[in-house]
Amino acid sequence: MSDKDPSLRRNAPKLALHVPEPHFRPGDTPDFSSLDIPPAGAAPRPDTSVAAAETHPLTTALVRVLGEDHRAVGPWDPKLDPDTLRKMLRDMVTVRIFDDRMYRAQRQGKTSFYMKCTGEEAIAVAAAAALLSDDMHFPTYRQQGLLIARGYPLTEMMNQIYSNRGDKLKGRQLPIMYSDKAHGFFSISGNLATQFPQAVGWAMAAAIKGDSRICMGWVGDGATAEGDFHSAMTFAAVYNAPVVLAVVNNQWAISSFAGIAGAERATFAQRAVGYGVAGLRVDGNDALAVYAAVQWAAERARSNGGPTLIEFFTYRSEGHSTSDDPSGYRPANEAKAWPLGDPVERLKAHLLAIGEWDDERHAAMAAEAEAAVRSAQKESEKLGILPEQGKDDIGSMFDDVYAELPWHLREQREEALSEGGG
């Protein structure tokens, strides 16, 4: 009998697969005490010029700056001036108010769809603050904070959400899939993970052209399972592209938890190790840590040190979108149990702790932000809301695709117009 005889496997165990299951389901009491949350200030900060491998211990650590006493501590403290801190806080508060009002607008039937980033506000807002205003972003649908932090008019955002007469994208994109070249905000694509190869390609082009601008690509934890994530990492590593690649790990991808994308086996930041790219794992609810990490990676990219993969560890506090009901797949109070806290409250507490803020100023700022969102909404609604759209200019749906409209589409256009489309 040969030693390759299949009968030798007689006593081998039956092959089995592991199907990851979230720790808690509706009705369970969420308990995150087994999560390893190192104290603020514990992670070392290597020089931005180190070899990628020297950052790899940081892919299992957690860069944190805001301590239990709400003070900034350790080598990652970006030592921001109070005005910058206050601007970040105002932007984060504005994002939250904007999200709440647009969520309500969807429930009132004024638009078909909305997506909030509640609990994740620090990430986009602090990343915007850390990069230069003409650096480019390839965002997903949860980085509205980039636009708000860069001063993009709230009315323009709402016009897009309502697909109204002011929508410069002419209703061709799903609500919230903004695009604005002037604000360095690439058109959002609903196809997950496309942002990574696009960002790497843009960064390579910037280098080929001898530009000094860098860019940042964004994906979620779930999207890292897409092939695009891995091809982008390969190109970024091979060509040492000047790019910052962010994985926002908010623990959920609609109703599937991060384990289904591989979080049980390794951190998302550890994906960097296999590609030989620098990697950082960062407390995404700590605006100062987010700022410091993006600033570090930006400096590295700008000085031709190459790409950095940053995992922002956070929690999606609300539903995936207005089409989702998370009570069907996770405990209702899971967001409250999340041990990294609320990013808005943490930044506010920091400003209070260093004596640069008080409750009255906070209330006045929040009221101002509320008024700004409310007045933008009023302006935008003058230009119409979604259910009213689409009748006045049906012919325009044939525009902007072909330089010369093919005959069959010309026919369809004439037919649509003669049916009273106007």
Ligand X SMILES: Cc1ncc(C[n+]2csc(CCOP(=O)(O)OP(=O)(O)O)c2C)c(N)n1
Determine, following the binding rule CB under 6 A, whether residue 422 of this chain makes contact with ligand X. Answer: no
Footprint (CB under 6 A) of ligand X, residues 371-410 = none
CA–CA gap between residue 282 and residue 72 (Å, rounded): 15
Q: Which does 192 bind (CB under 5 to 8 A by kind): Mg ion, ligand X, none?
A: ligand X
190 binds ligand X (CB under 6 A): yes
Q: Which residue number, 248 or 301, has a Cβ lying nearer to ligand X?
A: 248
Q: Which of residues 300-339 bind ligand X (CB under 6 A)?
A: 316, 320
Position 118 contacts Mg ion (CB under 5 A): no
Residue 382: both structure tokens together: 């003058």
Q: What is the C-alpha radius of gyration for the chain, rounded to an integer number of angstroms?
A: 24
Q: How far is the CB of 311 from Mg ion (least distance, A)?
A: 11
Nearer to ligand X, 207 or 223 (CB): 223
Number of residues that bind ligand X (CB under 6 A): 17
Give 21 or 54: the residue with its C-beta nearer to ligand X: 21
- The alpha carbon dihedral of 127, 172, 157, 385 has a sign of negative
Q: List binders of ligand X among 134-153 (CB under 6 A).
A: 142
Taking the least distance from each CB to ligand X, the nearer of 59 and 314 is 314
Report the residue number, 56 or 96, with the smaller CB distance to ligand X: 96
List, in sequence order, every beta strand (DSSP E) within 239-304: 243-249, 252-253, 256-257, 278-283
Determine phi and psi for 413, rounding to 5 degrees.
Answer: -65, -45
Q: Name which of 199 and 386 has its Cβ closer to Mg ion.
A: 199
CB of 40 to ligand X, least distance (A): 25
Question: Which position among 77, 91, 99, 221 is part of the footprint of Mg ion (CB under 5 A)?
Answer: 221
The least CB distance from residue 345 to Mg ion, in Å, is 22
Part of the chain binding Mg ion (CB under 5 A), chosen from 66-74, 80-88, 185-193, 221-229: 221-229
CA–centroid distance for 26 within its chain: 26
Q: Which of 145, 175, 220, 384 binds Mg ion (CB under 5 A)?
A: 220
Q: Using alpha carbons, select from 212, 313, 302 the residue that is nearest to residue 263.
A: 313
Alpha carbon distance 184, 202 (integer Å)? 12
Q: Measured from the CB of residue 254, what is the shortest distance to ligand X in angstroms?
A: 5
Stretch that binds Mg ion, among 192-200, 214-222, 268-276, 293-301 (CB under 5 A): 214-222
Under rule CB under 6 A, which residues in 74-113 are in contact with ligand X?
none
Residues 219-258 contacting ligand X, CB under 6 A: 219-223, 226, 248, 250, 252-254
Of residues 142 and 300, the one with the C-beta less far from ligand X: 142
Q: Are strands 308-313 and 278-283 parallel, antiparallel or unpaired?
A: parallel
SS3 of residue 310 by DSSP: strand
Q: For residue 64, give every residue at least 6 positions away whose Cβ sits within 8 Å of its Cβ, in sequence order, or none.
A: 38, 39, 40, 41, 42, 43, 74, 76, 282, 283, 286, 289
* Angle, CA of 196, 197 and 199, to the nearest 5°: 65
Tokens 């779930």 correspond to what residue?
222
- Crossing angle for the helix pair 343-353 and 121-130, to the nearest 10 degrees: 60
- Measure the CA–CA gap between 119 and 381, rounded to whole angstroms: 27
Find which of ligand X, Mg ion, none residue 288 binds, CB within 5 to 8 Å per kind: none
271 binds ligand X (CB under 6 A): no
Judged by beta carbon, residue 257 or residue 275, the one nearer Mg ion is 257
Nearest approach in angstroms of CB 30 to ligand X is 18
Report in angstroms the alpha-carbon separations of 408 from 95, 294, 411, 412, 413.
Answer: 45, 50, 5, 6, 9
Binding site for Mg ion (CB under 5 A): 220-222, 250, 253
Binding site for ligand X (CB under 6 A): 142, 190-192, 219-223, 226, 248, 250, 252-254, 316, 320
